[in-house]
Structure 1
Amino acid sequence: MRVVFMGTPSFAVPSLSRLAQAHEPLLVVTRPDAVRGRGRALVPSPVKERALGLGLPVLETKRVTPEVLERVAEARPDVIAVAAFGCILPDELLELAPLGCVNVHGSLLPRWRGAAPIQRAVLSGDERVGISIMRVVHDLDAGAWCRQASVELAEKTCAELMGELAELGASELVLALEDIAAGRAVWREQEPELVSYAAKIDKAEMLLDPTDGALENRRRVQASLDAAPARLCLGGKGVRVLDARVSSQEVEQGQVLVRKGRVFLGCSSGSVELLLVKPDGKREMPASSWASGLRGSLSWGVA
């Protein structure tokens, strides 16, 4: 099958890799190199890096312009496959391939349409998280889906889930394209009454807060990513929390208890034990190592 692939972050790389094994990718469309890191150097997207490694032609763009439409049309794809490309796709693009445009979406639709489905699922404490292979239509993530698969959330971090779902989505995408090409794909329309939206995560949402319960604060840590990390303020200094768990230890709300190398935060209900932290200006370290430098009566709050 002749495929044009559109994607940008690491989440999309397994889908591109599997497509390259099973089909004929003619063109890879991704967002331009971006400035990253302390050196402020231009870095290619993970999808561009993988595409070049596979010897595939790459087109970089921030949006779908008439020139992009022309390049895609020249490739004469049977289908356009999308995984986290990063911008709205115009209706003109959706009409270029006879088998349509399909997307690897990181949720069990109709739950969590939108920009941050995996993080929203974690913050909400969903028991299972998954992916849907859906048709791209005019309205945001509103298309029918033909395949879904899921994994248990359990104690996995958001980064771990994204990696797992990226691989799962890649497998389901290849199977979906086989079904579509054979005319046996079964498309299921989304039930409007079950729709929920996953708005982009704001950094302020990820700040640990002693006026919230232990479980809510733990979920912030679990959903944390570099773009929106879980943070708190202790002793006037900011700290990123990389791992934590809900504890049965009794601690007064807003207070910090250090006991035998373990660090506990008092919440409005219950407490959280810190496991892995990164104090501002320092390397990441186990909370037990960090605890050795904590002295006296300490309180904590929003960073």
Structure 2
Amino acid sequence: MRLVFAGTPEAAVPTLRALAPLHDIVAVVTRPDAPLGRRRVLTPSPVAQAAGELGIPVIKAARLDAEATETITALQPELGVIVAFGGLVREPLLSAPDHGWINLHFSLLPRWRGAAPVQRALMAGDDEIGVSVFRLVPELDAGDVYGMRPVELPADATAATALDILAADGAELTVDVVAAIAAGTAESAPQAGEPTFAPKLVLSDGLLDWTRPLDEVYARFRGITPEPGAHTEVAGARLKVLEAAPAPDAASLEPGRILGEKRRILIGTATAPLAVTRVQPAGKGAMPAADWWRGQRDETLRAGA
């Protein structure tokens, strides 16, 4: 099929690479170069870099406006495939391809429609997570579903790890759906169930509340790692929590109380402590949590205060 592919982050790259040898991808649409790193160097998106390696023409657009619509429509694609592009597809572009657009979404729809489905699922402690391929419609993530696949995640998976796993499984599912559409055998069904929504995360979502039970604190840590990043406040300064795991066998501590050990620090929650092994104090680089704690002179310091 003649495809146009729209995507931006690393999570979209496996689908692009999986489709490229099977179909004629006439263009890749991605967000413009963005400043990265301390020197703010303008850098192409991961999808743009992959398209360059694959020899596919790239259209860089901050939004799919009239100019982008005209450019894409002129290519006469049979199908549009979108994976985490970062912008909305509206009419008349929505109807430009012969078969419309399909979207790979990293949740089991209609749960977690929106910008941060993986993060919100982990934060909520969902027992089941997965990927969906659905037909794009004007309403947010509401189109009929061509296929869904539950995906098993490791118990310690952060949002970054989960996205890597879901991106690989989602690429396989998208290839199958595109093949069915090409063969004329694809079937779709309306989404079933009550929708929940996954708004984009902000910095305040990364604040850990030590008065909550351990399972809730750890679920939030997993969902907000690496972005926007888990943090707490100690003696009026922000402390980023980079690596952590439950410590259900450790003695209970008051919520927020910090206890230093040889290779980790324990921070109390409403139930069992969280073991923190790597942190980043304000204005400093990442370091082992035990090293940070040995540099503190006040052993009565508490997280969240």
Task: Provide the TM-score with structure 2 as the length reference.
Answer: 0.94
Alignment partners' CA distance in 1, 2:255 and 2:184: 59
Q: Name the aligned partner's letter for residue 237 of structure 1.
A: A
Alignment partners' CA distance in 1, 2:35 and 2:166: 27
Partner of 1:13: 13
Partner of 2:174: 173
Partner of 1:300: 302
Q: Name the aligned partner's letter for residue 7 of structure 1.
A: G
Q: Which runs of 5+ in 1 are unaligned?
A: none
Alignment partners' CA distance in 2, 1:298 and 1:34: 43
Partner of 1:258: 260
Do 1:234 and 1:298's aligned partners in 2 also have CA atoms closer than 8 Å? no
Alignment partners' CA distance in 1, 2:86 and 2:156: 28
Greater shift after overlay, 171-180 or 144-153? 144-153
Do 2:261 and 2:290's aligned partners in 1 also have CA atoms closer than 8 Å? no
Do 2:30 and 2:48's aligned partners in 1 also have CA atoms closer than 8 Å? yes
Alignment partners' CA distance in 1, 2:53 and 2:19: 14
User: Alpha-carbon deviation of 1:212?
Assistant: 2.1
Q: Name the aligned partner's letter for residue 170 of structure 1.
A: A
> Size of the alignment, in residue pairs?
302
Alignment partners' CA distance in 2, 1:260 and 1:296: 17
Deviations 1:37-67 (A, max 9, x none): 1101211111111111111111111111222
Do 1:210 and 1:300's aligned partners in 2 also have CA atoms closer than 8 Å? no
Partner of 1:116: 116
* Sequence identity (%): 39
Do 1:102 and 1:133's aligned partners in 2 also have CA atoms closer than 8 Å? yes
Greater shift after overlay, 276-285 or 248-257? 276-285
Do 1:231 and 1:302's aligned partners in 2 also have CA atoms closer than 8 Å? no
Partner of 1:31: 31
1:19-98 pair list within 5 angstroms: 19-98=19-98
1:227-266 pair list within 5 angstroms: 227-248=227-248, 249=250, 250-266=252-268
Deviations 1:228-267 (A, max 9, x none): 1100122333221122122232112221111334311112
Deviations 1:151-177 (A, max 9, x none): 223221110010111111111111100
Partner of 1:103: 103
Partner of 2:211: 211
User: Alpha-carbon deviation of 1:226?
Assistant: 4.2
Alignment partners' CA distance in 1, 2:76 and 2:88: 21
Partner of 2:287: 285
- Secondary structure of 1:300's aligned partner: coil
Q: Which runs of 5+ in 2 are unaligned?
A: none
Q: Name the aligned partner's letter for residue 177 of structure 1.
A: V
Alignment partners' CA distance in 2, 1:302 and 1:112: 29
Partner of 1:271: 273
Alignment partners' CA distance in 1, 2:263 and 2:163: 32
User: Alpha-carbon deviation of 1:31?
Assistant: 0.7
Greater shift after overlay, 78-87 or 209-218? 209-218
- Secondary structure of 1:142's aligned partner: coil
Q: Name the aligned partner's letter for residue 264 of structure 2.
A: R
Q: Name the aligned partner's letter for residue 292 of structure 1.
A: R
Alignment partners' CA distance in 2, 1:118 and 1:63: 23
